[in-house]
Structure 1
Amino acid sequence: MTEVPLLYTCARSRGFRATWAAEEAGIEIELKLLPFPPRFQAPEYLEINPLGTVPMLVDGEARMTESCAIAHYLATKCGYTDLAIAPGEPDYAAYCDFTYHADATITFPQTVYMRFALFEKDKGWEEAGHAYAKWFWKRLVKLEQRLETRDYLCADRFTVADICCGYALVLAERVGLDEGVPDSLKAYRDRLKAREGFRRAWDRESAGPGAI
């Protein structure tokens, strides 16, 4: 019997990218939903992942902790699908760029905002958090321009790049960062959230002990 990949995550965290990709790709995974933040609420998790971060995918000998990489892995582990763009295919470079852009450029200021403006307000760094909110909004310009003439980021179809960047827009809506999100990107987010794969993934994580 083939071992089913195991995904450790917190509901609605960046690990949602992996849950969503699995649903879109038709890949069976086992979800292990942890309380947030797991390094404090589930300290035994540190024995599995010393970083204490989520997500973490365990697939045989493979151990992966980067949500965008996990999403791409799940979309291609049984061969390239329409969710990924292969080398030599048009928009391959754009696919790589936007998939990495999701965390390196967009989600990073969100996480700093959440820490200082939401989770650690008592430390007096709330103003710094709001500065990162403005940084996040300014960093959306690349997505906004890319989607001016297309429904999806790459190759005129829905791909992992949309999952990775789209999650950042979903998170913005949940944590109070929607004020500076352009209407065009809100419409893009609505298209993504209307997908059956998104809805199935959202429902799967609804049983989590605590959502971000």
Structure 2
Amino acid sequence: MTPPVLYHCPDSRSLRCLWAAEETGMAIDLRTLPFPPRAFAPEYRAVNPLMTVPGWVEDGRLMTESAAICERIAVGTSLELTRDEADYWQWRNWLHRSDATLTFPLAVMIRYNRVEPEERRLAQAVEDYRAFFGGRAKSIEAALSDGREWLVAGRFTIADIVIAYAAFLATTLGADDVLGDATRAWLARCTARDAFRRARERQKAG
């Protein structure tokens, strides 16, 4: 059987998918692209007209949303919650929160601090969205304030993967000081996992 193909840029939100695949042991065909692919990999448009990563191609079908791809990877594993588990809807809410609420302000920071040419960079936008992310990241701190080890169900799941990616991305942008103490300790547990380390090493090899 042909393995699914993951189109990926190092440390972009597609890292969520690569990490989840490493956690589950799922075989994938990793295709690493330069960032941003819309500028440096025009041939990728034939795969994903949005020109965004991740691009996940399986059985001729394309998926483009990192949390949804993680959900697909998690099926039948301990990373998934089933509807009969008490934290199911909380788990689903974290999956949606990961991009819509948490990664979005960081993406604005990246655009106006790294991607745009020097003359179009906006320091005020970067600072505003840094503060915006800090306010939204308080939801992670609140969830962990009771001393729990993981976000839901008393175990590591893809909720931890998709949310930890946002917190990890913040650290790469110098915004880790907006994270609370419990969040930083939880992020350290997440990024110390062998699968996370393997994913980051694998992306270097392409």
Q: Give the AA of the match of 1:199.
A: R
Instruction: Tell me what 2:100 maps to.
Output: 104
Listed as ranges, the matches of 1:140-159 within 5 Å are 140-149=137-146, 150-159=148-157
Listed as ranges, the matches of 1:53-132 within 5 Å are 53-76=52-75, 80-120=76-116, 121-132=118-129
Report how far residue 142 of structure 1 moved: 1.0
Listed as ranges, the matches of 1:37-52 within 5 Å are 37-52=36-51
- Percent identity, aligned pairs only? 42
Contact 1:110 1:133 in 2 (8 A): yes
TM-score (norm 2): 0.95
1:24 aligns with 2:20: no
Structure scoring higher RCO (CA < 8 A, sep ≥ 6) equals 1
Aligned length: 204
Report how far residue 206 of structure 1 moved: 1.8
Q: Deviations over 1:56-107 (max 9, x none)?
A: 000112210000100110111xxx2110101121100110001111111000
**What stretches of structure 1 of length at least 5 have no aligned partner?**
none
Contact 1:23 1:198 in 2 (8 A): yes
Q: Is the partner of 1:32 in helix, strand or coil?
A: strand
Contact 1:117 1:130 in 2 (8 A): no
Instruction: Tell me what 1:137 maps to.
Output: 134
**What stretches of structure 2 of length at least 5 have no aligned partner?**
none
Contact 2:113 2:121 in 1 (8 A): no
RMSD, aligned α-carbons: 1.1
Q: Give the AA of the match of 2:4.
A: P
Partners in 2 of 1:32 and 1:124 — Cα distance?
A: 30
Report how far residue 119 of structure 1 moved: 2.5
1:173 aligns with 2:171: yes
Q: Is the partner of 2:27 in helix, strand or coil?
A: coil
TM-score (norm 1): 0.93
